[in-house]
Chain A
Amino acid sequence: MILEKGRISSSQLILPLLGYCLSYSVIFMPGQEAGHDVWISTIAGIGEGLFLAFIYVSLALKFPGKNLLEINDYIYGRYLGKLISISYLWYFLHIASLVLRNYGDFFSGVFLVETPYLVFIIPVMIACASAVRNGIEVITRTAIVLMPITLFMYVFNFFFLLNEMDFKAFEPFFEITFKQFTDSSHHVAVASFGEAVVFLLIFPFINKVKQIRMPTFLGFILAGGVLVLNAVQNVAVLGAASKVSTYATVQAVRIINVGDIFTRIEFTVYVILVATVFLKISILYYGVCLGTAQLLKLRTYLPLVLPYGIIIILLGTFQFENVMQIISWFNETYPYYSLPFQIFLPALSLIIAYIKNPSQEGRAK
């Protein structure tokens, strides 16, 4: 039973991982509640993210060629394993719907108020469905096309904002309390890096499974670098106002005015947003379809693409009433809701795997 024939090389993994990690940071500046110390929490968040990457990579290396669901079956047995796998699939479906909802709200809620929400949602979902139907190779290649553009726009915005930046805004350093610091850095980690647990479904498609360590860490560090750049840019440009802005990056980029020519260029943020959101939803969507097909022992995941697409749209549309609710949910509930999926279960799996057969890396069947 082969659900996916496509293979990607290990170095190709960096860009989809980067796009996947970045997608939230454009809409909400994660760790925003830390005020002008957000760059410190972001760096700490990267640290936590790298720890998570270490867990995921070690787990994948312990079971080369096996994906998350097979690992769960092996470690927790047939029944408990299936249960955990199903909850993981729910989690991926849920994040996909959240990303979609944020994306739709961003456009229809604030910037193009009169346009209905579904007008933004449906084209993206059609594009994602098409990418998912074409498999992991196509998703990876779109990332290779889209991510350089995205990175270019980040850097472009940063340089054009340099003359607006006031680096005094960062002083005094470390004014936040310890609780705020841990909260905001954990927030950065769960919102940007922890969700990459879905890559445990994708690691087996890499042609040289042994070589996933470097690209994963590199992707995380690169994404972290962009996050720090973004945080520095927003705080330096907006000062205290970065803490109260719903969409700090957009607000900062709207200030760009270089010689009255390069002005009103916030479309760059929209380009970044569309590209990264497309990647993130595609990867999650693909993971859900593939996982379900594997769980139900189907010959192909293609018939699942349409129903799951509809489920993601509906789930995204109806689970929250308004943006304020989403923001408070993201700040208060989400960091704890994600803990089992992102940290506890993978870490537990890794520990059990070492207990079950210590020192036999790569020989579990």
Chain B
Amino acid sequence: MMKRVFKILGIYILILLILSGCWSRRELEKLNLVIGSGLDKGPDNNILFTVQIVKPGALKAPGGQGGGGDKPFWNITVPGLTAFDTFRNTTLESNQKVYYQHNRVLILGEEFARDGVRKHLDLFFRDHDIRWTIRVLVSKNKASEILAVETETTSLPGFFIDELVQAQGNRSQTPDVDLKQILLGLMSNGIHPVAPIIKIEGEGKEKKLIISKTAVFRDDKMVGELNEKESRGLLWIINQIKSGVINVRYPTWDGFTTLEILRASSQIIPVIREGEIQIDAKIKVESNIGSQMYSTDVTKEKTWETLNKLQIEHVTQEAESAIKKAKELKSDIFGFGSAIHREFPQQWKEMKKDWDELFPYLVVNVEVESELRESSLIIKPIRP
């Protein structure tokens, strides 16, 4: 009997020992949670790493009192030779080892990006604390300055930037890129990475963050940028258009008609024509009439068809301008190379080594199919 009691007691003590907590357990208030990070080129061949740490005490409840004008975040910028070096150098200023699991964005300073990102991003792919789902941006200003801008609605810049990138889906004029896409771009000859560009506008108290344009990489170095029109063109081709507006000008009237993109899809099809490989980029777009500035009856078939034609023209132009710019930069950001690899693996073997040189001579045929769905809540023009 006693023996049995001891046995059970022993098991309970063992369970207590094991279940009472993890080995390297850390309480929430002892964690320095990172929500945003940035990499910059340092002064003497090193890099500067900025982390944004949440100060939970200074976070205001919405509408409530408190905080006392204190910033709810704390930015640390530290130098280091390698990325991992800087990771650990954060403890130069931080009282705790910083915790990266909740990091949302990684901002690469433009100088840093132009210098080549592979050697330093290696850590971000290797480290288990970093998730491959964090968003990547390139900044015109220093990344440390971007993270220091005080933002509205969300008082944490890291979260704000993350949401700002997501909100771009409403315009579809900048791509939404995560670390996994950058990794795939770095691992392939047939597609190069892109990233949205963020910059500061205004001075002093009036500083605000703006996302526009797209950074283009060749292999791991940033080589140029696409403007908004070209960025939209890129998104048409790589099937990343979510929503957005198209402004077209009806030839005989003064003013614009705005079309709202409902859905879009695209396909990249490599074909062999006249002995050479060409790309057919097929884009399908559906839109509604969002608004118009002049008074015309859009329900008339002729108007309808003209608008449709204008939309096709507009999309084709955007896509072609993106291709033209990418060819100038010698960077295949669309994944045409990967598509050729999938379709014609034999030919690709010979092409892949100097694809960057061959890409400018690639013939790309853009075909757009367009449909106008409806005129929303008004069918006749508003006029007396």
Contact = CB atoms under 8 A, between A and B. Distances in A.
A351 interface: no
Interface string A236-259: 001111001000000100110100
Interface stretch (B80-88, B143-151, B181-189, B353-361): B181-189
B23 A172 contact: no
Given A110-B128, A111-B128, A241-B187, 19 more contacts: A112-B22, A112-B24, A115-B22, A115-B23, A116-B23, A172-B342, A172-B343, A172-B345, A175-B345, A238-B180, A240-B187, A241-B184, A251-B132, A254-B131, A255-B131, A255-B132, A255-B133, A255-B180, A257-B133
B13 interface: no
A123 interface: yes
A173 to B, nearest CB: 9
A7 to B, nearest CB: 28
Interface string B159-181: 00000000000000000000010
A260 to B, nearest CB: 11
Nearest to B101: A264
A168 interface: yes
A243 to B, nearest CB: 8
A238 B183 CA distance: 10
B28 interface: no
Interface residues of B, number: 19
A321 interface: no
Given A112-B22, A114-B23, A168 B184 contact: no
A171 B341 CA distance: 8
B1 interface: no
Nearest to B181: A239
Interface in B307-322: none
B16 interface: no
28 contacts: A110-B128, A111-B128, A112-B23, A112-B24, A114-B23, A114-B24, A115-B22, A115-B23, A115-B24, A116-B23, A123-B18, A168-B342, A171-B342, A171-B343, A172-B341, A172-B342, A172-B345, A239-B184, A241-B132, A241-B180, A241-B183, A241-B187, A251-B132, A254-B131, A254-B133, A255-B132, A255-B180, A257-B133
Given A111-B128, A112-B24, A115-B22, A240 B341 contact: no
Contacts of A110: 128
Contacts of B188: 240
Contacts of A240: 184, 187-188
A116 B23 CA distance: 8
A119 interface: yes
B171 to A, nearest CB: 22
Interface in B55-114: 101
Contacts of B18: 123
A154 B180 CA distance: 22
Given A240-B184, A240-B187, A257-B133, A119 B23 contact: yes
Interface in A170-208: 171-172, 175
A289 to B, nearest CB: 22
